[in-house]
Amino acid sequence: MSTPKIVILGAGYGGLLTALGLQKKLNYNEAEVTLVNKHTYHYLTTWLHEPAAGTSSADHARVELDRIVDMQKIKFVKGAVQSIQSTEQTVTLENGDVLSYDYLVIALGSESETFGIEGLKEYAFGIRSINSVRQIREHIEYMFAKYKTEPHRTDYLTFVVGGAGFTGIEFCGELTDRVPELCKEFDVDPELVKIYSVEAAPTALPGFDPELVEYAMNVLTRKGVEFRISTPVKQCTPDGVVLATGEEIKSKTVIWTGGVRGNSIVEKSGFEVMRGRVKVDEYMRAPGHDNVFVVGDCALVFNPEGRPYPPTAQISIQEGENTAQNLVALIRNAPLTPFVPALQGTLASLGKGEGMGVVFGGKKVFGTSAALMKKASDLRYLYKIGGVGLALSKVKL
Amino acid sequence: MSTPKIVILGAGYGGLLTALGLQKKLNYNEAEVTLVNKHTYHYLTTWLHEPAAGTSSADHARVELDRIVDMQKIKFVKGAVQSIQSTEQTVTLENGDVLSYDYLVIALGSESETFGIEGLKEYAFGIRSINSVRQIREHIEYMFAKYKTEPHRTDYLTFVVGGAGFTGIEFCGELTDRVPELCKEFDVDPELVKIYSVEAAPTALPGFDPELVEYAMNVLTRKGVEFRISTPVKQCTPDGVVLATGEEIKSKTVIWTGGVRGNSIVEKSGFEVMRGRVKVDEYMRAPGHDNVFVVGDCALVFNPEGRPYPPTAQISIQEGENTAQNLVALIRNAPLTPFVPALQGTLASLGKGEGMGVVFGGKKVFGTSAALMKKASDLRYLYKIGGVGLALSKVKL
């Protein structure tokens, strides 16, 4: 009997934790594990609002994979996935290479959900990857520089953040920290800079406790954000956005954070999806495919009340760990363990030294303590994937 | 008899040195001196190739005027000059304010000379001011960031420097230093980055000794610059440049350093000019205007062989000093001193630790010693305008 082949597609939270779990649990020659990823690095999606605003460097939010993955145990393939042929048990990469598998882990992450809003795909930025946030940061700086050579163009100094969910709110927190620095660097009057947070839902941070929402909005309003709540974006153009209210905001920088859907490769490969996500079984497997696990933003998991869990890093990490455990079980013919998330609370940052959230047990936290807890949770993750050395190397003092 | 009013237009090399000379030489109430400038700072035009490439910050190349000018002795007006009415002895600013003068010093600097080349004004950048070089730096960074999200667009990584005179060559030197840093920051393969230096004249650095020209071209070629000499630019478009040879270079970044002419305000105000420059008398006065001095890039001064001196900082500085001396003489009814430049050599930088030039006596210098001499000469200038404190504050170690 030949060594079973496990192929993991994607080295985000879900894929990386699957790989690290297998690296730890598998014995020599029990399986041949291949990790496929577009980049040679893993990035911390939940940190990307910082480098996007320019309050920290993009390098800070990524870790080279060879620093955390044992490349002797896990075969790494740098490449972008083009399609999955589940009948043939193969994966085709964009460069034409074909990988065959016995077990597959789909951890391909998400795509921006634009809800059919005209112009968003063409003209809005997304906080989506190391490359995209470097572009956002450079674009913002470029706008300040351009304004100084065309001082009638105040639209260069207007920033529209579409979506007041987690990412949108955290990005606003960073951007309000960054603006005074940019104004100083480029000799721009801070009064001229406008930041709008636009949200279609009747509240910012839908799903959050109203007291937390109010706190976040107060902090950000004080820092200069203007909110447009219950206000869908109707259209995005090269000159800004048109809101459903008819209001037009002239801006050269629209950043869309209005939601995500699963990677379209999954649907194109014939898996049944809802908004790009596969409704997995209790072991995180695609229905009808006992050898295909789906984790992270491509997976749809329901809570006991029948509502889907939000696509968070926290859940993706746990899904990856659970999947690693179940892959080992399958190889050893042992029983599988159902996936049950252990929710540890949610913390949002609102810029330097500011945050809010709920911690384990439902306790609400605010301000500096929330910001510190968030940093502690980030450090715990780095420790988990790369040990003390990695955690310490990323601490900003 | 009322106190005579001296108005100085512009705080570049010529205007600033006039103001500083007057500040030093004039007794209390001998004259009322007003210095008009667009910005609250003086900038070192000859340093601008560094912040344009991003190898030093724009702040490094400027000095707040209140740090060097005694605002008790010199009245400072922040404003842009719109026109000069020499008959009425008044100056009108863009905000509508009118200043009257008994003596005027025109030190309004230069404008880019585009020689009628189509599209240059619209699509090319110029290394012209703090604001313009910050824009160039941000634009270059933005191109690297954009390339990473549109990796087929190698034109984002192609940079065309029009004009291989002093500024063009020095900028190429800095840019070749900066590119490896940018490649590292944005994960870009350095092989993909192209820098072209395009010059219409039959040689780079026209007017320089051929041995120096060859040295500079060798250094820059080794650092990755491709030269197109004897090759006029025919047209600049949003997509790049078309050369007279028919060659088309696709690029989103064309930086034009092909020459300067005097500020057009001078001609519009009725002074007789050649390429925007006033052919001044031996005391730097506009013909027919005994109370109007013209210094710096707006003035045309001929050498004993009948050829115009190039528009350099060195000569502007000396013109300002001479003019301050002559203004004091006019006020005191003393004889005027003709302007005779003391040429101290010319040094060009070719990036970090590299340079070449001729020093006093005609001796040629190369490499690190030339680069050091250039830094020494920059420090001498800072010492001249702001003393030891200013000079030390700008030293990069």
Q: Residue B2, exposed/middle/buried by CB under 10 A (0-12, 13-18, 19+)? A: exposed
Q: Do both B193 and B253 map to the same domain? A: yes
Q: Tell me if B138 and A138 make a contact (CB, 8 A cut-off).
A: yes
- Which one of A32, A88, A113, A170 is the catalytic residue? A170
Residue A396 lies in a domain: no
Residue B73 lies in a domain: no
Measured CA distances, A93 to A43, A158, B67 (Å): 21, 40, 61
Of the residues A304, A320, A343, the one at which a domain ends: A343
Of the residues B322, B343, B364, the one at which a domain ends: B343
For the beta sheet containing B248-250, the strands, ordered from the edge strand earlier in sequence to the opposite edge, are B233-237, B240-243, B248-250
The candidate with the shortest Cα–Cα distance to B350, out of B223, B210, B183, B162, is B223
Measured CA distances, B298 to B5, B98, B206, B279 (Å): 22, 22, 21, 9
| Lookup: tokens for A227 | 């909110």
Q: What is the DSSP letter of B66?
A: G
Q: Do both A175 and A284 map to the same domain? A: no
DSSP SS3 for B183:
helix
| pLDDT given for residue B1 in this prediction | 61
| pLDDT given for residue A110 in this prediction | 96
Residue B312 lies in a domain: yes
CATH of the domain at A26: 3.50.50.100
| pLDDT given for residue A396 in this prediction | 64
Residues of A in contact with B131 (CB under 8 A): 145, 148-149
| pLDDT given for residue A113 in this prediction | 93
Work out the number of other CB atoms within 10 angstroms of the CB of residue A181. Answer: 12
Q: Do both B315 and B213 map to the same domain? A: no
Phi and psi based region of residue A357 (left: phi greater than 0; alpha: psi -120 to 50; beta: remaining): left
| pLDDT given for residue B396 in this prediction | 65
Q: Which of B135, B146, B185 sits opposite A149 (nearest CB)?
A: B135
Asked whether B185 and B274 are in contact (CB, 8 A), the reply is no
Rounded Cα distance between B17 and B323, Å, is 9
Amino acid at B250: K
Distance from CA of B352 to the nearest CA of A (A): 24
Residue B199 lies in a domain: yes
Distance from CA of B91 to the nearest CA of A (A): 24
Phi, psi angle pair for A160, to nearest 5°: -115, 120
Q: Which residue has the higher pLDDT, B50 or B343?
A: B50
| pLDDT given for residue B48 in this prediction | 97
| pLDDT given for residue A130 in this prediction | 97
Q: Tell me if B131 and A141 make a contact (CB, 8 A cut-off).
A: no
Q: Do both A223 and A144 map to the same domain? A: yes
Q: Do both B218 and B365 map to the same domain? A: yes
Q: Do both B100 and B201 map to the same domain? A: no
Distance from CA of A163 to the nearest CA of B (A): 22
Work out how many domains chain B is built from and give that number. Answer: 2
pTM: 0.90
Tracing tokens 């200013």 back to the chain, one arrives at B390
The candidate with the shortest Cα–Cα distance to B104, out of B284, B261, B291, is B291
The helices-and-strands tally (H runs, E runs) of chain B is: 9, 25
Distance from CA of B128 to the nearest CA of A (A): 11
Q: Do both B299 and B326 map to the same domain? A: yes
Residue A48 lies in a domain: no
Distance from CA of B256 to the nearest CA of A (A): 16
Q: Tell me if B134 and A148 make a contact (CB, 8 A cut-off).
A: yes
Residues A262, A265, A268: CA angle, nearest 5 degrees: 110
The parts of chain A modelled with pLDDT lower than 70 are 1, 396-397
Q: Do both A239 and A130 map to the same domain? A: yes
Q: Which residue has the higher pLDDT, A11 or B343?
A: A11
Q: Which positions ≥6 away from B71 have C-beta within 8 Å? A: none
| pLDDT given for residue A231 in this prediction | 97
Residues of B in contact with A186 (CB under 8 A): 134
Rounded Cα distance between A247 and A232, Å, is 11
Q: Which residue has the higher pLDDT, B394 or B286?
A: B286
Rounded Cα distance between B202 and A395, Å, is 56
Q: Report H helices in chain A.
A: 13-25, 49-53, 120-123, 130-149, 166-186, 210-222, 264-268, 313-331, 367-393
Of the residues B321, B343, B365, the one at which a domain ends: B343
The candidate with the shortest Cα–Cα distance to A256, out of A236, A276, A242, is A236
Residue B237 reports pLDDT greater than 60: yes
Note the residue count of chain B: 397
Average pLDDT, chain B: 96
Q: Do both B118 and B201 map to the same domain? A: yes
Rounded Cα distance between A281 and A301, Å, is 8
ipTM given for this complex: 0.83
Residue A239 lies in a domain: yes
Residue B2 reports pLDDT greater than 90: no
Residue of A138, A147, A182, A188 to mutate when probing chain B, most B C-beta within 10 A: A138
Chain B contact residues (CB < 8 Å to A): 59, 131-132, 134-135, 137-139, 141-142, 144-146, 148-149, 185-186
Range of B327's domain? 5-38+79-112+260-343
Give the model's confidence band at B343: pLDDT under 50 very low, under 70 low, under 90 confident, else very high.
Answer: confident
Residues of B in contact with A125 (CB under 8 A): none
Residue B149 reports pLDDT greater than 80: yes
pLDDT tens digits along A106-130: 999 999 999 999 999 999 999 999 9
Residue A349 lies in a domain: no
pLDDT tens digits along A363-374: 999 999 999 899
Residue of B132, B134, B140 to mutate when probing chain A, most A C-beta within 10 A: B134
Mean pLDDT value of segment B104-131: 96
Residues of B in contact with A144 (CB under 8 A): 138
Q: Do both B247 and B379 map to the same domain? A: yes
Q: Do both A91 and A153 map to the same domain? A: no
Q: Do both A10 and A101 map to the same domain? A: yes
A30 is catalytic: no
CATH of the domain at A139: 3.50.50.60
Cα A123 to the center of its chain, rounded Å: 20
DSSP letters, A321-381, are: HHHHHHHHHHHTTPPP--------EEEEE-STT-EEEEETTTEEEEHHHHHHHHHHHHHHH
Mean pLDDT value of segment B367-371: 93
Chain A contact residues (CB < 8 Å to B): 59, 131-132, 134-135, 137-139, 141-142, 144-146, 148-149, 185-186
Mean pLDDT value of segment B63-72: 96
| pLDDT given for residue A18 in this prediction | 98
Note the residue count of chain A: 397
Residue B172 lies in a domain: yes
Q: Which residue of chain B is at minimal alpha-carbon distance from A58?
A: B185
- Which one of B50, B111, B170, B174 is the catalytic residue? B170
| pLDDT given for residue A343 in this prediction | 87
Asked which of A104-113, A247-256, B260-269, B375-384 is least confident by mean pLDDT, the reply is B375-384
| pLDDT given for residue B283 in this prediction | 98
Q: Tell me if A141 and B144 make a contact (CB, 8 A cut-off).
A: no
| pLDDT given for residue B322 in this prediction | 98
For residues B122, B125, B131, B137, the Cα torsion angle rounded to the nearest 10 degrees is 140
